[in-house]
Amino acid sequence: MKSKIQKWGNSLAIRIPKPFAVQTEIEQNSIIELSVIDGKIVVEPEKKKPKYTLEELLDGVTEENLHGEIDFGKPIGKEIW
């Protein structure tokens, strides 16, 4: 599919056709990664960090990776412990 480069302020812009946006799960205000690879402009959706539930995180705790309490010292300021 062809698209036209247009001026946007002091920059250049391209429009992303709706089918491409839907297929790549991007929408208005999505963060993208831009790079140049072998002379080609590559546009990729930002890599999303996986979200875990508390239950999934706690399932990863084992006897081998469980650590003891950590002492951060006495309060400094107005902390209430």
CB under 8 Å to 1, separation ≥6 — which residues? Answer: 17, 20
Please report whether residue 79 resides in a domain: no
Residue 81 confidence (pLDDT): 62
Mean of pLDDT values over 6-13: 95
Q: Report the distance separating Cα 20 and Cα 68, nearest Å.
A: 50
**Containing domain of residue 29, as a range?**
6-59
pTM: 0.51
Please report whether residue 14 resides in a domain: yes
Please report whether residue 41 resides in a domain: yes
Q: What is the pLDDT of residues 22-65, one digit of tens each?
A: 998 899 999 999 999 999 999 998 887 888 999 999 999 999 99
Count CB neighbours of 21 within 10 A: 15
Give the CATH number for residue 36.
2.10.260.10
Asked if pLDDT for residue 3 goes beyond 80, the answer is yes
Residue 33: which of 48, 11, 18 has the closest Cα? Answer: 48
